[in-house]
Amino acid sequence: MNISAKQWIAQGASGVIVIGNGPGELPKLERGRPFFRFNLSDSIPLSPMEVRVSNRRVAELSGEPPVFQVQSQWMKDTEREGLQHLFAKHASKLGTELRCLPSTGLTAVHTCIDLGLSVQVFRMPLRPALFRAPELAPRQPLAAAFHNWLGEQRLAWRLIASRGNQLRWLDIVAKCCAIAGETEGRLDPYPRFFEWIKNATAGCPDSVDPANLVELATSSKFDWDAYAKHERLQLLEPFFYLDRTKQMTPKWWLYSNALSISIDTLLGRLTQAQRFLHAGQAAG
């Protein structure tokens, strides 16, 4: 990033607010404090201290980079270009870890932390719904299905653990509470889930029993918590997102309107299990 942008950071923006597009009320904004927002319509006017970041699809960018478009009333063109470059750099790094393009919000948090800013995050649980409305066409993908949300939460937890004094992210940690992970009297759902995925990936929708997936989705969240392991959760990440670089995919279940409630519920179970593991680590 260029010198003038570094001066901006040093002179008045030691802390920033990052506002996602998730549920919840907008935070009260402090006069003179920069804040980030993402992928908004051009019909919504820029606020004086807003830094608006849009991905290529929303900004309708074509040809070569930038990967992101940064808009701001108060930043100089060179500062905006420098920030666009940093966003692209962090998106590339995060994409390698996630094996897909990261969300603009997660990229923003990592970029701001790397710049030495303190960050407050609002309305960004990194958990969009994977539920498909009944009227959605069978070959139409959900926009939310192109991000590795379980992996993004994993990286968010890592960032919180390493930069907790610099980062306040209540959507991730607020509902987190460690409970005893007793396995006695509980059934391990993970082997059955891996087996279902193996069979589903090898065949077609008619080759597996959807009732087995529904049963897994309705099993107790305490079963998922009790047998959760970081390695297991990471192995399950690819089950929940599509590769935007390929036209064909074996993950037909992400196009199934009938199974989408179970898919979304299972992602919720794994999200809670991930919270449980990290809460246990923090308590220990």
Mean local confidence (pLDDT), 261-271: 97
% of the chain with per-residue pLDDT over 90: 64
What residues contact 163, with CB distance under 8 A and at least 6 apart?
113
| Per-residue pLDDT band at 185 (split at 50, 70, 90) | low
DSSP helix/strand/coil, 52: strand
pTM for this predicted structure: 0.90
Candidate from 61-65, 99-103, 116-120, 228-232 with smallest mean pLDDT: 61-65
Please give the pLDDT value at position 204.
76
Q: Give the pLDDT of residue 246.
A: 82
Compute the average pLDDT of residues 244-273: 93
Q: Which residues touch 227 (CB under 8 Å, ≥6 apart)?
A: 183, 186, 188, 189, 190
In this prediction, residues 92-98 reach a mean pLDDT of 96
pLDDT of 5: 47
User: How far is the C-alpha of 185 from the C-alpha of 187, rounded, in Å?
Assistant: 7
Mean pLDDT, residues 192-200: 94
Look up residue 83 and give its two tokens. 């920030």
> What percentage of the chain reaches a pLDDT higher than 70?
87
pLDDT tens-digit map of 29-54: 888 889 999 999 888 999 999 999 99
> 69: helix, coil or strand?
strand
The CB density around residue 252, as the number of other CB atoms within 10 Å, is: 15
Segment 9-15 shows an average pLDDT of 57
Angle (nearest 5°) at CA 241 between 274 and 125 = 45
Residue whose C-alpha is closest to residue 156's, from 27, 18, 50, 261 = 18
Contacts of residue 211, defined as CB under 8 A and 6 or more positions apart, other chains included, come to none
Give kind and range of the element (H or E) at residue 281. helix 260-283
| Domain parsing of the chain, residue ranges | 3-124, 190-283
pLDDT at residue 183 is higher than 70 = no
